[in-house]
Chains A and B, each alone.
Chain A
Amino acid sequence: MLWLYLHFPHLLLDHIHRNQPSTGALAIVDGAGHTVVQACPNARDFGIEAGMRLKTALGLAPELSIMRTEARQEAWLLEDQARWLYRYAAHITLSPPDGIWAEVSSLQKLYGGLPSIWQTVEQALAERKLTAWVAIGHTPQAAQLLARAGKGECTADKHHILASVGSLPLPAAGFDEKSCTRLQRLGLNTLAEVFALPPTELARRLSPELLAMVQKIQGTRPDPKAPWQPPHSFRQKADFIHEVEHTEGLLFSLQRILSELEEDLCWRQQDTDTLLLILQHRHQQATRLRIRTTGPEHRAEMFLKLIRLKLDHPPLSAPVTGLILAVKRFTGREAPLGRDLLGETEDLDEAWHTLISRLQARLGEQSLKRLAARADHRPECAWSANNPGKPGKLRPQASVTLPRRPLWLLKAPRPLAQPPETWHSGPERISGGWWDGQRVHRDYYIAQLPGGELAWVFRDVQGGWFIHGWFG
């Protein structure tokens, strides 16, 4: 078995750099805000290093931008990396906080050899502007040690790998501090010297755990790794060093996230119709926006157009410090229907979805309605308004049997102010609703009012006269 290990030396920095076009000196500090965790090359030029106290760092570079990390943030980021790596390798194991294993011996045939696997991974890293140290080892531990030391080579030769691991100094071996000191006191400096010790003595004099670790590096003790399964959801976060006040500033990182979403959906062969966009503010509760399309969609540009509408109207309530885009609903992709082979005719289905989604994004979902008739005798209950969905192919049966009704129905009956000029037909008695408490007991007439309008008027039980509709 061969293992590929990716070590991300500064994942948080990479993450932040991807969301802003350019930044000055930047340092990541821990949750409490006391210590520098990671420093970007610009900051290192000032002499800032990881582990330094924040006060010292600010003294060295007063212009330093500071980003605080969340405990979960790193885990999420690592999972993001695993998600794209999963497209290239089936067996992946996470090594929190900053590494991923991928089993590659089974992939050699698919990719045509180790060098091309290596190249594919390097290329994917470059596309995502990530810094990662890659190494291949015959055991997971060996690969990890080599990657962390930055001594990875593209080779499948076990002896060569063992020799490289053996040349590593003891502190790079990842042993606990106590064992490391004891080994050094024994006069051992490299891992190769530890490998040369007899196993029984190593276990007796130091600890059985240390022996297990050494054997895992060498490959004489099994070291199974449970495969990671990608979660069935999409979640991406972008943090901004400087607060973003205008929509345009958000679009840069939204565009990147959305194109990653598109890629993700393409890989899954899925579509989605709901996006959740959370905008975080410094002093205010986060704004949660739900972006819905009327039909399944996967293209980044369509999502971006809808989000742009949503953000422009109303404008941002407060400056944004970070944004999260999450997708939880996925639908299987359907082949587009009714399109000719050459794609010359306009796809009306798609145009319909685009238009309705746009309108819903700006006006709100409740502003658009599709009407339907309902089987009820009471006029106000004989219709319903639904969300517009794509019209089905099923034709409703011809409704010749429906009684004569006006085309306009008033939202609420209006008292009849002046007596009608002519009475045309009636009465039609409608009585019902005793079953749900909304009792209706009326006599309906069609009458012409002095203004020439034809109205649908009724008299209720109390003898009051009301207009309930217009024959438009």
Chain B
Amino acid sequence: MSDLLSSLLQDARVWQGHKHRKTTQPAEPTGYQVLDNQLGGLGWPRGALSECLLDALGIGELHLVLPLMQRLSEQGKTVFWLNPPHTPYAPALAREGVNLDHLVVINTDDQGDFLWTLENCLRSPVTGLVLAWPGKLASRDIRRLQLASEAGGNVCVLFRSRRQADQNSPAALRLELVPGDHQDLKVNIIKRRGSWPGQRCSLALGHRADITTQDSSRVVQGPWPRSQG
């Protein structure tokens, strides 16, 4: 081994994979044991950004954060929804046991307002969770949000398009969400702070539409005209 390399190793300036120890960053359990295991037994990182990359809504992306939302709203922490693409449906949330009193939905007109609002929410001690649907985000903006998130110590989940999976991002956790064949959600970890990425798991989320079995016997009749299909 060259002198240069050994001196670098002695100074501990090179991170070595095999000496990896479990990180003890603050985190909130996701509520899904399978996913928690893949995330080093921790869950959603607190005081850092998380990104969920997905193509279409309705694949169970809200159910991924629902256990956390339930828990935080029950603790009296405020959950912010920033620029949601559709209306979060109150009766469904109430049914899932989310305390609606602690939910605040914010819609902003432009990107400047969006970033300002998100930063303010992240820095506040009352915030438990921020769900945000940003449009395009510059890398500089994400870094700034990351700093705000560190100051506040709460969970922030950004929902972005899967096209941004290749883009570099300072977020601490990046998950790619793909719908499975049986109403499940395949989670592909693209990036995770303090460990190797690449873990995959699948969460059964059929219960979100009361689908228990694979057969569709509960449908009275498939009403779709076959001719059109």
Q: Report the bound CA distance from A396 to B102 in whole Å.
A: 12
B85 to chain A, nearest CB (A): 8
B228 touches A453 (CB 8 A): no
B216 touches A472 (CB 8 A): no
List residues of chain B with CB within 8 A of the CB of A370. Answer: 100-101, 103-105
B60 touches A472 (CB 8 A): yes
List residues of chain A with CB within 8 A of the CB of B78. Answer: 352
List residues of chain B with CB within 8 A of the CB of A362. Answer: 113, 116-117
Query: Is A382 located at the chain interface by the 8 A CB criterion?
Result: yes
Q: Report the bound CA distance from A348 to B99 in whole Å.
A: 18
Q: Report the bound CA distance from A455 to B78 in whole Å.
A: 28
A373 touches B59 (CB 8 A): no
Query: Is B135 located at the chain interface by the 8 A CB criterion?
Result: no
B179 touches A367 (CB 8 A): no
- Give the interface size class of chain B: 35 or more
List residues of chain B with CB within 8 A of the CB of A346. Answer: 125
List residues of chain A with CB within 8 A of the CB of B116. Answer: 362
Contact with A along B104-138 (1 / 0, CB 8 A): 11111100010011001100111100000000000
- Give the interface size class of chain A: 35 or more
Question: Chain A residue with minimal CB distance to B113?
Answer: A363
B62 touches A408 (CB 8 A): yes
B100 touches A371 (CB 8 A): yes
Question: Chain B residue with minimal CB distance to A425?
Answer: B218
Partner of A358, one of B76, B120, B125: B120
B105 touches A407 (CB 8 A): no
* B79-115 with Cβ < 8 A to chain A: 84-97, 99-109, 113
List residues of chain A with CB within 8 A of the CB of B17. Answer: none
B58 touches A470 (CB 8 A): yes
Contacts A363-B113, A391-B76, A409-B89; A422 near B216 (Cβ below 8 A) = yes
List residues of chain B with CB within 8 A of the CB of A470. Answer: 57-58, 86
Stretch at the interface among A152-160, A175-183, A397-405: A397-405
B210 touches A404 (CB 8 A): yes
A424 touches B223 (CB 8 A): no
Contacts A352-B78, A454-B183; A359 near B91 (Cβ below 8 A) = no
List residues of chain B with CB within 8 A of the CB of A388. Answer: 104
B124 touches A355 (CB 8 A): yes
Q: Report the bound CA distance from A383 to B100 in whole Å.
A: 11
Query: Is A459 located at the chain interface by the 8 A CB criterion?
Result: yes
Question: Chain A residue with minimal CB distance to B78?
Answer: A352
Contacts A388-B104, A448-B183, A451-B56; A373 near B91 (Cβ below 8 A) = yes
List residues of chain A with CB within 8 A of the CB of B179. Answer: 451-453
B94 touches A373 (CB 8 A): yes
* B139-180 with Cβ < 8 A to chain A: 178-180
Query: Is A88 located at the chain interface by the 8 A CB criterion?
Result: no
Q: Report the bound CA distance from A58 to B116 in whole Å.
A: 50
Q: Report the bound CA distance from A29 to B60 in whole Å.
A: 72
List residues of chain B with CB within 8 A of the CB of A409. Answer: 86-89
Query: Is A420 located at the chain interface by the 8 A CB criterion?
Result: yes
Query: Is B192 located at the chain interface by the 8 A CB criterion?
Result: no
* B187-229 with Cβ < 8 A to chain A: 208-211, 216, 218-220, 222-224, 228-229
* A393-439 with Cβ < 8 A to chain B: 395-396, 398-400, 402, 404-411, 419-420, 422-427
List residues of chain B with CB within 8 A of the CB of A410. Answer: 86-87
Q: Report the bound CA distance from A359 to B104 in whole Å.
A: 11
A426 touches B126 (CB 8 A): no
* B46-79 with Cβ < 8 A to chain A: 55-63, 66, 76, 78
List residues of chain A with CB within 8 A of the CB of B178. Answer: 452
Which of B57, B78, B86 has most chain A Cβ within 10 Å? B57
* A355-399 with Cβ < 8 A to chain B: 355-356, 358-359, 362-363, 367-374, 379, 382-385, 388, 391-392, 395-396, 398-399
B89 touches A469 (CB 8 A): yes
Which of B84, B116, B219 has most chain A Cβ within 10 Å? B219
Question: Chain A residue with minimal CB distance to B124?
Answer: A355
A423 touches B216 (CB 8 A): yes
Partner of B94, one of A399, A404, A406, A449: A399
List residues of chain A with CB within 8 A of the CB of B102. Answer: 391
* A320-335 with Cβ < 8 A to chain B: none
Contacts A363-B106, A425-B219, A452-B59; A404 near B100 (Cβ below 8 A) = no
Question: Chain A residue with minimal CB distance to B62?
Answer: A472
Contact with B along A267-278 (1 / 0, CB 8 A): 000000000000
Partner of A419, one of B88, B106, B209, B229: B229
Which of B87, B93, B178 has most chain A Cβ within 10 Å? B87
Question: Chain B residue with minimal CB distance to A353?
Answer: B126
List residues of chain B with CB within 8 A of the CB of A228. Answer: none
List residues of chain A with CB within 8 A of the CB of B59. Answer: 452-454, 472
B105 touches A359 (CB 8 A): no
List residues of chain A with CB within 8 A of the CB of B108. Answer: 363, 367
Contacts A363-B106, A369-B104, A406-B92; A423 near B60 (Cβ below 8 A) = no
List residues of chain A with CB within 8 A of the CB of B216. Answer: 422-425
A408 touches B106 (CB 8 A): no
A371 touches B211 (CB 8 A): no
A427 to chain B, nearest CB (A): 6
A318 to chain B, nearest CB (A): 23
Which of A355, A362, A426, A469 has most chain B Cβ within 10 Å? A355
B103 to chain A, nearest CB (A): 6
Q: Report the bound CA distance from A402 to B181 in whole Å.
A: 28
Q: Report the bound CA distance from A471 to B88 in whole Å.
A: 11
25 contacts between A and B (CB under 8 A): A348-B125, A351-B124, A351-B125, A352-B78, A368-B104, A371-B90, A383-B87, A391-B99, A396-B94, A398-B97, A405-B95, A407-B63, A408-B57, A408-B86, A423-B216, A423-B219, A425-B211, A425-B218, A452-B179, A453-B58, A454-B58, A454-B59, A471-B209, A472-B60, A472-B63
What are the 7 closest A-B residue pairs judged by CB atoms, nearest first?
A: A452-B179, A470-B58, A453-B58, A472-B62, A391-B101, A383-B90, A405-B92
Known contacts A362-B117, A369-B107, A422-B216, then 5 further A-B pairs from the complex at CB < 8 Å, ordered by chain A residue: A367-B106, A382-B90, A399-B95, A407-B66, A423-B223
